[in-house]
A and B are shown apart, each in its own frame.
Chain A
Amino acid sequence: MSSRRKPWLFPAILALLTVAAFLLSVKIGAVRMSWQEVRAGLFSGGQYRDIIIHLRLPRAILAYLVGASLALSGAILQGYFRNSLADPFILGVSSGASLGAVLSLELGLTWTIFGFSSQSWLAFLTSLLLVASVYLISERRRLRQGESLLLTGIAAGAMASALTSFLLFRRADAYEQAVFWLLGSFSLSGWKEVWLILPYFLLALIVAEYFAPEMNLLALGDEVAQSLGCPVRTTRRLFLFLATLLASFSVAVAGIIGFVGLIVPHSVRLIVGPDHRPLFFYSALTGGAMLVWCDLVARIAFTPSEIPIGVITAALGAPFFIYLLNWQRPKHS
């Protein structure tokens, strides 16, 4: 690609796409309004204030943060496993979250804490618990730990999915509820979701950027990294923790949104190269912009109804990804 000759091109296009995504997200929706009315709603009240300030704006920002979190999580895990098939949900975050959400329905829990439903909380906790146990089990293996972790994660995910299916099978009436929750949506997201996820996302981005050189060493293999002075075990633990928590937070506020965490880091790697510092940074920014665009489509394609955003990310993302993989000659691979 041309990034070596024109290093400003990719950041410029990305910035343009991001700004355009936000402007259109605030402007376009089921209720039509002019630019003047949008400006009035943003800065001086007016009849559309609630729609703009409490629906469209937080929704766009949350979509951005969730997209950025998932893409960053994917970029970290792809580096961690030295495997470009890794994505945020590979260690069972999504299966764990599904199990938690269904469990909450099964138990008939109806409480809310800090404005978040029992489903969100249980999904968050079970996903963390699942990944933690996967890690603790596979950590005992000294050799080829990454591979063992990956396979244990897949197996544990399958087990959680089986449990979920069993619970749903027992209670067919809960099935619809669970499915709608899991499909993922930003429909009624407000500022509280934004404030929940923003601090952790920023922290994770800064930490990931700071330790990106260590990730570059890990890419050479654990033994080589160790001999070059990288504290392999600690670094691996840190990155796994960052990635898992990013994915769990995203699932808790927005459900399971697939594909962003897989294709964004991959596509960004084709453009900026394998160095993890720019890779983490641009993955996050690209993932954010992509999800704002996808949410825009999810919102307006079938007005006044909405479609789950996960459908859009895969339906639009997959063809683009296939194009990128097969029709471009990657320079760095």
Chain B
Amino acid sequence: MIEARIPRPGTGAKVFLTLYGQGQELWTCGQNSYLNYLLGRAGLQNVAADFKGNWLAYNPEKLIADNPDFILILARNRQAFNQATRWLESLTALRDITAIKNKNFIFLDENLFSRFGPRLVEAYEWLIKAVYFASNSEGK
């Protein structure tokens, strides 16, 4: 049932994944990261996927041009996530990005997503639920 809702790779919503807290920068995952693979598996298009790298500080004007539908935020807890969304909303330059205009922010638990390992299956489940079932409730 879940699989039926997932679009074929590269056809789903455009997303931007960011790691909050690294200074005043937009850190994201490039083509060679496992998170990019995970996003692809979930039928999402990572806007930073054409950059051949692992982690990179993304250029904000590129983000405006990419205009993602969702912004996925890796944060260590809810509080940090809320802080991150407030910060993104406070940036005048980014106000017209679809994800920010519609407040389409998705919380990803840093503990679960920032390490490669067997728990990636759990992370995958969390991602699917958050994106397709609008359930943001800690992935349970």
A interface residues with partner B (beta carbon < 8 Å) = 29-31, 50-51, 54-56, 110, 112, 115, 176-177, 180-181, 183, 185, 187-191, 255, 299, 303-306
Contacts and interface: CB of A to CB of B under 8 A. Distances in A.
A305 B53 contact: yes
B7 interface: no
A50 B83 contact: no
A190 B91 contact: yes
B25 A190 contact: no
Contacts of A255: 23
Interface of B: 21-26, 48, 51, 53, 56-62, 64-65, 79-80, 83, 86-87, 90-96
B24 A185 contact: yes
Highest count of chain A CB atoms <10 Å: which of B61, B64, B86, B87: B61
Contact of B93 (A54, A180, A299): A54
A253 to B, nearest CB: 10
A30 B25 contact: no
Contacts of B23: 177, 180-181, 183, 185, 255
Contacts of B64: 31, 50-51, 55
Given A50-B64, A185-B23, A255-B23, A306 B59 contact: yes
Given A50-B96, A176-B22, A180-B22, A306 B57 contact: yes
A55 B90 contact: no
Contact of A31 (B22, B61, B90, B94): B61
A121 to B, nearest CB: 14
Nearest to A56: B61
Given A50-B64, A177-B22, A110 B59 contact: no
- State the 7 A-B residue pairs at the shortest beta-carbon distance, nearest first: A54-B93, A180-B23, A305-B56, A30-B59, A181-B23, A30-B62, A304-B62
Given A30-B59, A55-B60, 18 more contacts: A29-B59, A31-B61, A50-B64, A50-B96, A51-B93, A54-B92, A112-B87, A180-B23, A180-B25, A181-B24, A185-B25, A185-B57, A187-B24, A188-B91, A189-B24, A190-B92, A305-B53, A305-B57
A185 B92 CA distance: 18
A92 to B, nearest CB: 22
Contacts of B53: 305
A304 B58 contact: yes
Contact of B57 (A51, A55, A187, A190): A187
B90 to A, nearest CB: 6
Contacts of B87: 112
Contacts of B51: 304-305
24 contacts: A31-B64, A31-B65, A50-B94, A51-B93, A54-B93, A55-B61, A112-B86, A177-B21, A177-B22, A180-B23, A181-B24, A183-B23, A185-B23, A185-B24, A187-B24, A190-B92, A255-B23, A304-B51, A304-B56, A304-B58, A304-B62, A305-B53, A305-B56, A305-B57
Contact of A188 (B26, B48, B86): B26
A94 B119 CA distance: 41
A129 B95 CA distance: 37
